[in-house]
Amino acid sequence: MEASEGETMNLNRKEIEFVAENIVRFDEVTEIRINDVEVRILGRASGGTFTAALYRTNDMCEIYKYHLAEREEARKRIEEIARPAKDIPWALMCKV
């Protein structure tokens, strides 16, 4: 379960301390994700994109399933927006 905008998900003391200690390392925080598996801070620092995460479970199977589902969702989004290289004019010239 992931907290949607406007929804509440409680943090325990350890998670609050994690957010407080790590949030200051970012120049810009773009998102804070809180769900049953992790508390994750996403943002920019030193010219790059970074994340910091604290897992809410020790169950490696749950963590693996969560990240596998995230990967599949990202792959589907990429397939929706990506064009095959053969459809790009420069690729036709280079015979990619």
Over residues 53-91, the pLDDT tens digits come to: 999 999 999 999 999 999 999 999 888 887 666 666 665
What pLDDT score does 78 carry? 86
What pLDDT score does 65 carry? 96
The pTM assigned to this predicted structure is 0.70
pLDDT at 1 over 90: no
Per-residue burial over 7-44, b if 16 or more Cβ lie within 10 Å, else e, is eeeeeeeebeebbeebeeebeebeeeebeebbbbbbbe
